Chains A and B, each alone.
Chain A
Amino acid sequence: MRVELRGITKRFPGVVANADVDLEVDGGQVLALLGENGAGKSTLMNVLFGLYEPDGGEILLDGSPVRFASPAASIAAGIGMVHQHFMLVPVFSVLENVMLGVETTTRLGGLDRRAARARLVELSAAYNLQVDPDADVEDLSVGAQQRVEILKALYRQADCLILDEPTAVLTPPEIDDLFRIITTLTESGRSVIFISHKLGEVRRIADRITVLRRGEVVGTTTPAESSEADLAALMVGREVQLVVDKSPARPGQPVLRVEGLRVLDERGVAVVDGVSFEVAAGEIVAVAGVQGNGQTELVEALAGLRAVDAGTVHLDGEDVTGLQPRRLLERGMAHVPEDRQRDGVVGAFPVRDNLVLNTFRRRPFARGLRIDRRAIRDNASRLMADFDIRAASPEVAAATLSGGNQQKVIVAREFGHADRLLIAAQPTRGLDVGSIQYIHRRIVDKRDEGAAVLLVSTELDEVLALADRVIVVFRGHIVGTVPRADATRDHLGLLMAGATA
């Protein structure tokens, strides 16, 4: 199906999310919609999916104009959308999720599972979307849940599929699977709109690429015509360097010393076992590894958020094992948490309060019991300027900010008191190139100011860009410590897969 958007404009109070956007995709084609976080990609797709009504412009399907009052209308017209956050009922089976809302019934009014199952199995086979129809969705991997979402759309006879940041949650092999699925879909004549901010992926999968910046189309191109650097420049409006400029580290005294650390997960299994390492002042140590090899638990234990089962943690020579987060904070430790929406900000609080979330008790923000609102406001204005936090005002709720701006709020807050040790867990996950560069720069600055930095990242590019030393973890153990000079992508990749150094 050929989908065309002409002159779509969508305004929200105070912002123009989409300004006069044109976009088209033919049947059998993949169109990539590329843009930074907050560029208006999701809004545009929500317009196409019938969630928002545009303030101007029109939508054409196979040349004829349509109006969608609701997602139901859009689905009926053959549009399918796979949201970034899956819309599945966790306790329902795959089959039930797929049927939900379009149940076929038998003559007696019961669910016709047999017919539904037959179609589901047929679709799975035709598009190579392997998934067990009777498995409960909550037991499936993220990749499999995504396949269920795609099946749901196909079951509703979608002719055009919108995939919103589909690779954000996938492992590399799952991404390869997804791309194979997309190819099968286009071979059957369907059109696919692939929303992403990952340049490499976009060039790999797309037939055409439309770049959005601040709600406007700034260019439409093809992978053959544009390099990653070209796309990045279009996206952020300036030439970007994907490498961080930094001088060699000058490590000083050890700040963080971890010895024989063992940490248990909720089931009582040791997910960090016998881990020992040091981080010195003025160096960045990166913990690399495939997600789920104990990094989350390691960071939580270091930050005082999870019990230490065995071993010790020393900060500046003092035993801080098992200390409360607040005590660690007082000793100059800062923590950028992995799950920023859940753990990093209080969504309902205004930006200004989020910027003092862990320092509100101190002067100048409080005098005794009394909060100094002026000091908090001044602090917010200063940090919002310093860290380029884009929000309408310090009063808006943090939940209304884009992911990149939320992360900047956290970084601005945490870097303010990261005097001795900064622990940054996945600091740039899901962010756009501009924000990534900015945060990388700030991390290096923090190192150069003499702080010890522990970076935990599953992105090799990030590890290679920032680290002075790389620790590779696998199944809760350190399988190798590599100086930056010896760290190559291949070498680290082998270690991450479990090969011993």
Chain B
Amino acid sequence: MSAALARAGRVALVPALAIFSALAVGGLIIVVSDSTALRDWSSFVANPGRALSTSWDVVSGAYGALFRTSLGGRRAISETLLEATPLVLTGLSVTFAFRAGLFNIGGDGQFLAGALTSVYVGFSLDIPAALHLPLALAAGVAAGALWGGIAGVLKARTGAHEVITTIMLNFVALRLVDYALSTDVFRRTGRSDPISKQVLETARLPRFSDDLRVHAGLVLALVTAYGVWWLLFRSTTGFRVRAVGASPSAARYAGMAVGGTWVLSMLVAGGLAGLAGATTVLGVRFSLTGGFSNLGFDAIALALLGRSHPAGVVAAALLFGVLRAGATGMAAEASTPVDIIVVIQALVIVFVAAPSLIRSVYRIGAGRGTGPVAFSSSWGS
């Protein structure tokens, strides 16, 4: 057990240092973007103490607000977990496909396909909750799986690169949602803007407490993360998926159906992103409006940060949840621009993607088990 912990510690070392570095560089940017701090720095020679103390105040004020609104109190934590819920699922989606050697850039399209279908089932059927909610969730998963599966079939049958097809399918889904929201079937009665009808009470995910927004989708996401881990690392299906991902030719020679595995993996990946869409409309929003959620793109970063491992993805999703939930508080309390959060997220990714940079900055050796997960090696192959 302690060996396993030590291994986990080694694996987490680089991401942890990357987060720290990103916050440090983010702090510099906060200082530079603050007019008072800049003014004090311009008179640094005359009064170095003031420049430093102002900078400290600005940075600690911003980060204090960030962590207070994301971790200080049960409502704050609830918001963080709420943000993390769909990120866990889309992160798992990218991870699963990646283990099969595929880049699923289509998380957003699959998310929308899932959300649209779940919303439809959610508002159109009048059946008891015991049936309604599972049916609405299942419909979202199925639609996402279908949307992902298209890319899988195209890849297996024609060799069309999944990066291209999933990106294109994103736009198809986007416009499909726009169109659906303009029809009487979906558009809320009496509204002219694109917003769907409300999901009925019977199809909504239950909340943990009346005054908190975090909902049962979180439990679903965590159980799914365990399920994906089991499927990948403890099942024959996962063995096949990982073999195909690591060496399609050896997998083929060993009698595995490479194309079939691609299709299966894209079905699963799409289903996971579809579930993210379903939990979002059934748990928080209760209706659907147009536009990308960007959760599918963030998911690529999550999978990278989480080293394509379900446990890592959950941890990374929680981190991003903290940043997202804290961003609004930081803007309100410390008047630091929300954009700084996007910058910090991007910096985390840059530092994680360049482990040797972190290693040289912090002078740590290239430990075993933390070898590069070559996430970007087969782009465009």
Contacts and interface: CB of A to CB of B under 8 A. Distances in A.
Contact of B236 (A342, A348, A366): A366
B250 to A, nearest CB: 5
A361 B236 contact: yes
A329 interface: yes
Nearest to B235: A369
Contacts of A322: none
Interface residues of B, number: 21
Nearest to B239: A360
B236 A343 contact: no
A343 B368 contact: no
A335 interface: yes
Between A326, A344, A346, the greatest number of chain B beta carbons within 10 A of the residue's beta carbon is seen for A346
Given A360-B236, A369-B237, A371-B236, A305 B252 contact: yes
Interface in B238-257: 238-240, 242-243, 246-247, 249-257
Interface string A286-322: 0000000000000000010100000000000000000
B371 to A, nearest CB: 9
A62 B280 CA distance: 74
A346 B251 contact: yes
Given A366-B236, A369-B236, A342 B247 contact: yes
B375 to A, nearest CB: 13
A361 B368 CA distance: 30
A358 B255 contact: yes
Interface residues of A, number: 28
Contact of B246 (A326, A335, A347, A366): A347
A501 B64 CA distance: 89
B255 A329 contact: yes
Contacts of A335: 253
Contacts of B251: 346, 357
A344 B235 contact: no
A370 B243 contact: no
B234 interface: yes
A78 B246 CA distance: 39
30 contacts: A305-B252, A305-B253, A324-B257, A325-B252, A325-B253, A325-B254, A325-B255, A326-B257, A335-B253, A342-B247, A342-B249, A343-B249, A343-B250, A343-B253, A344-B250, A346-B243, A346-B247, A346-B251, A347-B246, A348-B246, A349-B242, A353-B243, A358-B254, A358-B256, A360-B239, A370-B234, A370-B235, A371-B234, A371-B235, A373-B234
Contact of B250 (A329, A357, A366): A357
Contacts of A373: 234
Contacts of B239: 353, 360, 371
B51 to A, nearest CB: 42
Given A13-B368, A346-B250, A349-B246, A326 B255 contact: yes
A326 B257 CA distance: 9
Interface string A338-354: 00001111111100010
A337 interface: yes
Contacts of B235: 369-371
A188 B79 CA distance: 78
A347 B374 CA distance: 14
Interface in B216-272: 234-240, 242-243, 246-247, 249-257
A97 to B, nearest CB: 23
Interface of B: 234-240, 242-243, 246-247, 249-257, 368
A275 B250 CA distance: 27
B247 A347 contact: yes
Between B235, B239, B255, B257, the greatest number of chain A beta carbons within 10 A of the residue's beta carbon is seen for B255
A28 B360 CA distance: 44
Between B235, B236, B238, B252, the greatest number of chain A beta carbons within 10 A of the residue's beta carbon is seen for B236
Given A324-B255, A328-B255, 5 more contacts: A13-B368, A303-B253, A353-B243, A357-B254, A360-B236
Interface of B is mostly: helix
A45 to B, nearest CB: 23
Contacts of A361: 236
B162 to A, nearest CB: 20
Contacts of A344: 250, 253
A344 B247 CA distance: 10
A348 to B, nearest CB: 4
A423 to B, nearest CB: 11
Contact of A357 (B237, B243, B249, B368): B243
Pairs A-B, 8 closest by C-beta atoms: A326-B255, A358-B254, A325-B255, A348-B246, A357-B254, A343-B253, A346-B247, A369-B235
Contacts of A357: 243, 250-251, 254
Contacts of A325: 252-255
A13 B368 CA distance: 10
A460 to B, nearest CB: 27
Contacts of A358: 254-256
A347 B252 CA distance: 14
Contacts of B237: 369
Contacts of A348: 246-247
B198 to A, nearest CB: 39
Given A361-B236, A369-B235, A370-B234, A342 B252 contact: no
Nearest to A13: B368
B246 A346 contact: yes
A375 to B, nearest CB: 12
Between B234, B238, B247, B254, the greatest number of chain A beta carbons within 10 A of the residue's beta carbon is seen for B254
A345 B236 contact: no
Contacts of A326: 255-257
Interface in A214-244: none
Nearest to A376: B239
A373 to B, nearest CB: 8
A425 B236 CA distance: 28
A371 B257 CA distance: 19
Nearest to B250: A346
A311 B181 CA distance: 58
A91 B230 CA distance: 44
Contacts of B249: 342-343
A250 to B, nearest CB: 31
Contacts of B234: 370-371, 373
B137 to A, nearest CB: 22
Contacts of B255: 324-326, 328-329, 358
A357 to B, nearest CB: 4
Contacts of A371: 234-236, 238-239
B304 to A, nearest CB: 18
A349 to B, nearest CB: 6
Contacts of B256: 326, 358
A23 B186 CA distance: 81
Contacts of B243: 346, 349, 353, 357
Contacts of B236: 360-361, 366, 369-371
Nearest to B255: A326
Nearest to B237: A369
A116 to B, nearest CB: 32
A369 B234 CA distance: 8
Between B240, B249, B251, the greatest number of chain A beta carbons within 10 A of the residue's beta carbon is seen for B249
Interface in A469-488: none
A324 B255 CA distance: 7
